[in-house]
Structure 1
């Protein structure tokens, strides 16, 4: 699988999570990723070092494998010329600056397309390329709040809660990847590059597809349902003797299996629960009845009973449970990396397989500026020119 994009070179001028996750995915698929970082400090996530892994920030390690780091001062006119030199033979250029910032530095789409007409230029922004907030900075929790995701997350009456993983950032990286791969296919047919755009805001709106559709259809503002959903019941968490179990009986057949497994077949003859529509309308009474049965079992026991009846269910695992889980480990997606500067280093691999193969770990997350000289020499700079650029602090580590 790592050979799929082996002839693709990507100039990665992004930081934080969305852009780096996109380029890491490209790198996992075999592309050469040249990561441009600020001299001295680099990607902001290098300083997000709580927690850290042997003094290196886990936030950087998680999103920057299979890349080469080059330190270039993009605010310096000579640094901008270096970037243009790298773009000459690149396939993809991607940045995560505010709209207009790249153009001010002479590194906008129209400017770089003149240098390389086949370039696939990708821009990741917070609020998109138009509108009054186009130049306003944004991060994952801001967009979860702005797009309404926080309004439907958590239990009724609770304070606002952020989804506990960076769904906006990482999904934006995936949408940018989708655009880039589509553009690569288009270029193979036309020979022309194009402009790809993605934003955190549009990603958030994409996640809100169903709540917004429900609102447009009914003009009712969606509520918080905790672990449940507005459309199906029972489809939520229930207390057990020692913790919780999630049960998702998404149709009449599964509801029947649930009732028989829990020893409450009489619910099947109760008109309040004869259809999903009725079960949703009487969700509180249904929840109370099912939970009374669940409270008679510990979680391990009820999981076994429900799995034997083919009723979809799950414990609410903590991170250590996930790490030790037999099913998860059978997928070999958590992969140990030998020979890295961090002992016992492991990664979460690309979550797809092609021909039953996962990606290849070719390069560890780079040290700041680790590949500056190598990349500049490949771009045509000789040793004297590189030393001069270093002396002038245009490039460095």
Structure 2
């Protein structure tokens, strides 16, 4: 049993997860289960395995870093899911599995072979997570999709970028990652319910649904006004000033979340005239006069450096930050202090990884093992499930 001395057994110790997914959303969800202590077995096709193994460069050893980012803590076995013997093996594995995660293409042969209605009759304890591009119903349900397709179809690209500029996707894969995280929530809720009822269930989510769920205030803004939202660059639709500004040597962000902070900002700038200006007195006034406010602050901040403004505004308790690059973040003492970067022992040497971002009892779940090589654990895992050696 996985155990951290500070918190005792890992939260999901004893939970067995069978991962039939690939690419990002499913593997990120199952890596999260592994981080929390679950026993995760990743099933890959004997010919090449998860496509992200070749999504490079860069590579570490034989695998692309993309694959290495979302598959730690798992065991890899190679099974041809379309073969009769492969399907028999998977069914044996499902007898003692708690969770099955898959993202089979809608209408595909594999989705029909591992249909939840049939699985639920054979394995009533099983929780199945199915992640798709567009969901189980509706005219788009059979459409395949990648993260950028979901960002486009789900509205994120229409809200990202500079006003009047070309649409842009988010820097992170918010379509895939959003579906992964909502999928994790759904599975955990289903496991809690199973503790009461003894029965598993079919949990579904999609990249499209999760994009809509993350609209949050953008959605309620639209429902209230029926006005089409537009991209605002780094600005906020409901707060001002709350965006990036150019200093003399670069950009930084100011986040004024209430009128008191606005007064603090005016004090830092030594501009009592701005604090008293009726155009800027309350947040609703500042939103109505956003362009005038941006013009005034852009001129003021352009007079000095990013470092100057960040130090000054910090002394006045105004939320502020330089816009940092990843190399700066990974070398930052704060990142080190909270333990968000760890290493696992990979066949090519120590491999740095971003840790699970939740602490339990003040302790972060340990990084348990490196992302597995293709089929690394086939013999170890399948010895008790197969009648004849699986194809390697």
- Normalising by the residue count of structure 1, what TM-score does the alignment of the two structures yield? 0.94
Q: Distance between the aligned counterparts of 1:260 and 1:104, measured in 2?
A: 62
User: In the alignment, which of 294, 305, 314 is matched to residue 298 of structure 1?
Assistant: 305
Match of 1:176 in 2: 183
Q: 3-state DSSP class of the match of 2:208?
A: helix
Q: Distance between the aligned counterparts of 1:72 and 1:336, measured in 2?
A: 29
User: Is 1:317 equivalent to 2:324 in the alignment?
Assistant: yes
| Deviation, structure 1 residue 76 | 1.1
- 8 Å contact 1:70–1:371 — kept in the other structure? yes
Match of 2:37 in 1: 30
Q: Distance between the aligned counterparts of 2:78 and 2:101, measured in 1?
A: 16
- 8 Å contact 1:37–1:368 — kept in the other structure? yes
User: In the alignment, which of 60, 69, 79 is matched to residue 86 of structure 2?
Assistant: 79
Match of 1:163 in 2: 170
Match of 1:358 in 2: 364
User: In the alignment, which of 115, 118, 126 is matched to residue 111 of structure 1?
Assistant: 118
- 8 Å contact 1:92–1:119 — kept in the other structure? yes
Match of 1:11 in 2: 18
Match of 1:349 in 2: 355
Q: Distance between the aligned counterparts of 2:109 and 2:35, measured in 1?
A: 27
Q: Distance between the aligned counterparts of 2:111 and 2:189, measured in 1?
A: 28
Match of 1:264 in 2: 271
Match of 1:188 in 2: 195
Provide closer, same or farther for how the CA distance between residues 196 and 264 of structure 1 changes in structure 2, counting only shifts above 3 A.
Answer: same
1:86-235 counterparts in 2 under 5 A?
86-101=93-108, 105-235=112-242
Q: Which moved more, 1:197-206 or 1:1-10?
A: 1-10
Aligned CA RMSD, in angstroms, stands at 1.4
Instruction: Give the number of equivalent residue pairs.
Output: 385
List, as ranges, runs of 4+ consecutive aligned residues in structure 1 with deviation greater than 4 Å. Answer: 102-105
| Deviation, structure 1 residue 102 | 6.0
- 8 Å contact 1:80–1:105 — kept in the other structure? no
- 8 Å contact 1:5–1:26 — kept in the other structure? yes
Q: Distance between the aligned counterparts of 2:334 and 2:128, measured in 1?
A: 40
| Deviation, structure 1 residue 31 | 0.4
User: Is 1:335 equivalent to 2:342 in the alignment?
Assistant: yes
Q: Which moved more, 1:129-138 or 1:96-105?
A: 96-105
Q: Distance between the aligned counterparts of 2:298 and 2:82, measured in 1?
A: 61
Structure 1 unmatched ranges of 5 or more: 391-395
- 8 Å contact 2:69–2:353 — kept in the other structure? yes
- 8 Å contact 1:75–1:105 — kept in the other structure? no
User: Is 1:285 equivalent to 2:287 in the alignment?
Assistant: no
| Deviation, structure 1 residue 6 | 1.2
User: Is 1:371 equivalent to 2:377 in the alignment?
Assistant: yes
| Deviation, structure 1 residue 101 | 3.0
Q: 3-state DSSP class of the match of 1:268?
A: helix
Q: Distance between the aligned counterparts of 1:282 and 1:132, measured in 2?
A: 42
1:39-78 counterparts in 2 under 5 A?
39-78=46-85
Match of 2:244 in 1: 237
Q: Distance between the aligned counterparts of 2:233 and 2:76, measured in 1?
A: 43
Provide closer, same or farther for how the CA distance between residues 102 and 175 of structure 1 changes in structure 2, counting only shifts above 3 A.
Answer: farther
Structure 2 unmatched ranges of 5 or more: 1-6
Provide closer, same or farther for how the CA distance between residues 305 and 54 of structure 1 changes in structure 2, counting only shifts above 3 A.
Answer: farther
